[in-house]
Structure formats: C-alpha cells, structure tokens
Amino acid sequence: MPASIIIVIFGSIVIIALALTYALSGGAMPVTKRLGRLWQPAGSTPANVGFRQAQRQATGKALAWLGNLFTSPRTPVAEADPRLIMAGFRRPEAVSALRAAKVITILGLEALIYFTGFYQNNPVILPLVAAAAGYILPDMWVSRRIKARQQTLRLSLPDALDLLVICMEAGLGLDQALLYVSQELRIAHPELCEEFDMVNAEMHVGKTRIDALRSLATRTGVEDLQALVATLVQTDRFGTSVAQSLRIHSDDLRVKRRQRAEELAAKTTVKMVFPLVLFIFPALFVVILGPAVITMLHTFSQLK
C-alpha cells in the first residue's frame, strides 16, 4: 500500500510539472519555429497552421463580439490599452477581446468555486478572491506576451543591425535600408520585420522619419531598439554619418550582449542553491549516511 501511494504521488508530480512546463513554454521552441520557417518552401502554408489561424480568428471574433457589449468597439487600441500594442495586437477589436476574456475568466472561476462547493469555506472572501484573480489573469497573460515579444525583438536586433550597416555602407538610404532588411529577414525574424514595415508605412503616409522612429521605440519598449532610435535621430539631426554611427552602435550592442550573458552566468550559482539544498543534498545524505545510520541503529539495538 505505501509503495502504490508513492507511485501515485510521484506520477502526479511528474504530470503537474509537465503541464506547467507546457503552459509556461508558450508552445514550440523558438528554434523549432525558425527552422520550420526556413525549411518551409516559399508560398506554401501547412494545413495545421491554416486551421490554427482560422480557429484563432474565430475565437478573436467571438471575444470581440462579447467585449463590444461592455465597451465601445471604436476605441483605439493605443488609447485604451497601450500594452496591447506592445504585445503585438493592433486590431481595433483587441481591447474588446481582452475585456471579454476578463469577464469569461471571472465567470469561470466563480462557477468553479460554486460547483465544487469550495465557496462554503468562506462565502464572502472566496468569491471576491476569484473575481480578482479572473480580472488579473488576462493582464498577466498580456504582460507575459509582452516580455516574450520583447525578448524576440531583442534577440533578432543584432542580425538586422548588421545587415542594416552593410546596406548603409553600400550606398542605400535609411528608408531603403529598412525596407530591404524587412524583406530579407522576414522568414527568420518576422516580428522585427513587422515593426520595420510599420515604420516605412508611417513614413509613406506623411509622418516624419524622427516621429516614425520614436513611435517604433514607444510601441516596442525594448531598450536596445530605443537606443538604436536615439542614435538614428541624433545622426539625422546633426547630419553625421549614419553608417559609422550604426557600426559604433553595433559594437556597443555586442558588448551589452556579452555583459548580459556574463550577468546571467553569474546568477546561476545563486539560483542553483535552492535546488541543491531542496533536492540534491537530501538525496546525497540518504545515499551516503543512510547505510551508516542503519548500521548504527542495528548495533545499538544489539547492545540493548
């Protein structure tokens, strides 16, 4: 009986750990996605991607329809919730979909604690806690989506910056260089190319280059992109060489990447303390000291 209980507990822990890993990983690995895009022939779309996109659009439309009952459908995304722009949601119904998701989450949690009878432990506090959690969870998902997208943009910036320097040194203007970079890196880095396309589109509709670049820094929130925009604005204002400024900025960016990697490597020793103390050391103590303790207990029992 104890052995079966241990097996059940161990299996439950493994299943919960796998479920949390899958939920927090955000789907497939980024390397797998990039390799899949590189190996995919031009103009071809897998069937599962099309089905997933159709399901995503249908879900977004349903959430937007439900959210329109609680807010105005014409509310601009940038004015209602700028975080949605940073997360990559630019369609007008994104605000309605987010508020509908909050309503659905609140109702789902309230129904969960009601049908399970858990609310009987505290009929006043637990429904309030469930409502607060249902309101906060969609915002937490948006924040996680923002961090993931910013990390993707941060990792894709060095490749784009190197190609941008080559284009500028070859004689292209900044507008043509941004357009060329967005076309060449569309498969490897679609998020950054989308931002560059937005910059070109804003300049085509009449925005100045400085305003378009500042909009890029505002809607992404990435420090490296903000530094790049500041460099381009200064070169455009003072008339200095853009290619030379970009090359210096590229060198500084590599130094920052190296320092960031060294910082993460230095943190590993501190982060390894908790798993060592909680999981590794107890197992070592059992393996090393276990036989000695059993022998000592057996010897003391014979002396009695």
- Look at residue 167 and tell me if it is in a domain: yes
Mean pLDDT, residues 15-27: 54
- Look at residue 288 and tell me if it is in a domain: yes
- Look at residue 267 and tell me if it is in a domain: yes
pLDDT, greater one: 32 or 13:
13
Residue 26 has pLDDT above 60, yes or no: no
Neighbours of 202 (CB within 10 A): 17
The least confident of 20-29, 159-168, 273-282 is 20-29
pLDDT, greater one: 30 or 108:
108
Q: Supply the pLDDT for residue 204.
A: 86
Residue 43 has pLDDT above 50, yes or no: no
> Is 202 found in the same domain as 295?
no
Q: Supply the pLDDT for residue 205.
A: 86
Q: Supply the pLDDT for residue 233.
A: 85
Q: Supply the pLDDT for residue 21.
A: 55
> Is 295 found in the same domain as 241?
no
> Is 300 found in the same domain as 265?
no
Q: Supply the pLDDT for residue 28.
A: 46
pLDDT, greater one: 180 or 59:
180
> Is 288 found in the same domain as 265?
no
Q: Supply the pLDDT for residue 99.
A: 80
> Is 245 found in the same domain as 216?
yes
Q: Supply the pLDDT for residue 144.
A: 92
Q: Supply the pLDDT for residue 27.
A: 45
- Look at residue 160 and tell me if it is in a domain: yes
Q: Supply the pLDDT for residue 46.
A: 47
> Residue 295: which domain range?
278-304
Spatial contact of 220 and 195, defined as CB atoms under 8 Å apart: yes
Measured CA to CA in angstroms, residue 206 lies from 16, 201, 210, 231 at distances of 53, 9, 12, 22
Residue 185 has pLDDT above 60, yes or no: yes
Residue 244 has pLDDT above 60, yes or no: yes
> Is 284 found in the same domain as 261?
no
> Is 157 found in the same domain as 256?
yes
> Is 286 found in the same domain as 182?
no
> Is 257 found in the same domain as 159?
yes
The percentage of residues in the chain with a pLDDT greater than 90, rounded to a whole number, is: 3
pLDDT, greater one: 13 or 207:
207
pLDDT, greater one: 40 or 262:
262
This prediction's pTM: 0.67
Q: What is the pLDDT of residues 94-140, one digit of tens each?
A: 777 788 788 888 888 888 888 887 777 777 888 888 889 888 988 89
Mean pLDDT, residues 224-228: 87
Q: What is the pLDDT of residues 134-159, one digit of tens each?
A: 889 888 988 999 999 998 898 888 88
For the chain, what is the domain count?
Answer: 2
> Is 223 found in the same domain as 287?
no
